[in-house]
Amino acid sequence: MTQSASRNTNDLAAAMAGRAKNLRRHMLRMARGQGQGYIGQGLGIADMMAVLYFSELRYSPDDLQRFDRDRFLLSTGHYSIALWAALVESGVLRHDELDSYGRDGSQLEMSAIDTTPGAEITGGSLGHGLGLGVGMAVGIKTLAPQARIFVELSDGEMQEGSTWEAAMAASSFRADNLVALIDCNGIQADGAIVLDMEPVAAKWAGFGWDVQEIDGNSIPALLAAFDAARARDGKPKAIVLRTLPGKGVATLEKREKAHFIRVDASEWDQFERELEETGG
């Protein structure tokens, strides 16, 4: 790599780290307004969402229905806090809407719905996002060949048979415009993963996918994985992300039962301080 190429890569990584921090700030603000929420997951995938929305995804915040756009499908509807943060950061949603997260009448539902601008699907009925993504990928390939479909799904969703039916269909239909972003955060509702899903990467490879497994909280690893996924043809791509729930807020990184977090009013200032003290 030349010096200027490496400087450009470093500049991009620094910019993405800044975006990820902003996303985490937005998430704390949303959750603070509500006093609770699916905060751990959002903080865990903030790095992936930053790189996806601000370096990878080809879409226009001013023209959300543009037909040849890339589409991002959030299968785990309960991770909506991460999607809302990205859509606020990209200017699709208003910043002051953050305070309405989870309230009656808000567009920022605790489980994502497709009536919110920028949300492509209603998630939350777990195990369905990948199947929707496969259908979109196969359909759009002939109509807008440059468009790609990115689907976020979780380790818990790998225990749904429908996920594997979709995985088989994707490779059978050679949906190489499909990228699955599999968040392996090691939790599933109120505790550790119930069924042992390891080796995760080998399972996806066995289903005919091009697989990468990375530290999902490493911005350089995320940038490299998206680059590699973009460069490869012929197979659907899976990026297995090992993430830490609560990432970026020291107290929440250590929190047990991180699936749905209720927080004492006195703790928010501390969380915000811890986030600002975190590097990146």
- For residue 238 the two structure tokens come to 């899976």
Site for ligand TPP in 132-191 (CB under 6 A): 154-157, 185, 187-189
Nearest to 121 by CA among 75, 167, 85, 84: 75
**Residue 156 lies near Mg ion (rule: CB under 5 A):** yes
Can you tell me which of 155, 157, 176, 213 binds Mg ion, judged by CB under 5 A? 155
Distance separating alpha carbons of residues 64 and 60, to the nearest angstrom: 6
Sign of the CA dihedral running 101, 104, 110, 114: negative
Q: How many CB atoms lie within 10 A of CB 214?
A: 18
Q: Which is nearer to ligand TPP, 16 or 239 (by Cβ)?
A: 239
Query: In the bound complex, what is the minimum distance in angstroms from residue 176's beta carbon to ligand TPP?
Result: 26
Residue nearest to ligand TPP (CB): 156
Q: Which does 80 bind (CB under 5 to 8 A by kind): ligand TPP, Mg ion, none?
A: none
- Taking CB under 5 A as the binding criterion, the range among 16-24, 93-101, 146-154, 208-216 that sits at the site for Mg ion is 146-154
Residue 111 CB, shortest distance to ligand TPP, in Å, is 8
- In the complex, what is the shortest distance from the CB of residue 75 to ligand TPP, in angstroms, rounded to a whole number? 9
157 binds, among Mg ion, ligand TPP, none (CB under 5 to 8 A by kind): ligand TPP
Distance CA 249, CA 258 (A): 12
Cis, bond preceding 145 (omega within 30 deg of 0): no
How far is it, in rounded angstroms, from Cα 49 to Cα 85? 9
Q: How far is the CB of 186 from Mg ion (least distance, A)?
A: 7
124 binds, among ligand TPP, Mg ion, none (CB under 5 to 8 A by kind): ligand TPP
Q: Of 76 and 106, which has the nearer Cβ to ligand TPP?
A: 76
How far is the C-alpha of 56 from the C-alpha of 76, rounded, in Å? 20
Minimum distance of ligand TPP from residue 15's CB (angstroms) = 28
Torsion of CA 67, 69, 72, 73, to 10 degrees: 10
Alpha carbon distance 69, 3 (integer Å):
33
Identified binder of ligand TPP from the candidate list 26, 32, 78, 148, rule CB under 6 A: 78
Strands, E assignment, the chain: 36-37, 71-74, 149-154, 178-184, 187-188, 191-192, 210-215, 237-242, 261-262
Q: 31 touches which of ligand TPP, Mg ion, none (CB within 5 to 8 A by kind)? A: none
- Write the burial class of residue 31 (CB in 10 Å: 0-12 exposed, 13-18 middle, 19+ buried): buried
- In the window 239-268, what residues touch Mg ion (CB under 5 A)? none
Q: Which of residues 192-251 bind ligand TPP (CB under 6 A)?
A: none
Smallest distance, Å, CB 60 to ligand TPP? 30
Three-state SS for 242? strand
Nearest approach, Cβ of residue 168 and Mg ion (Å)? 22
| Chain residues in the site for ligand TPP (CB under 6 A) | 41, 76, 78, 124-127, 154-157, 185, 187-189, 259
| Chain residues in the site for Mg ion (CB under 5 A) | 154-156, 185, 187-188
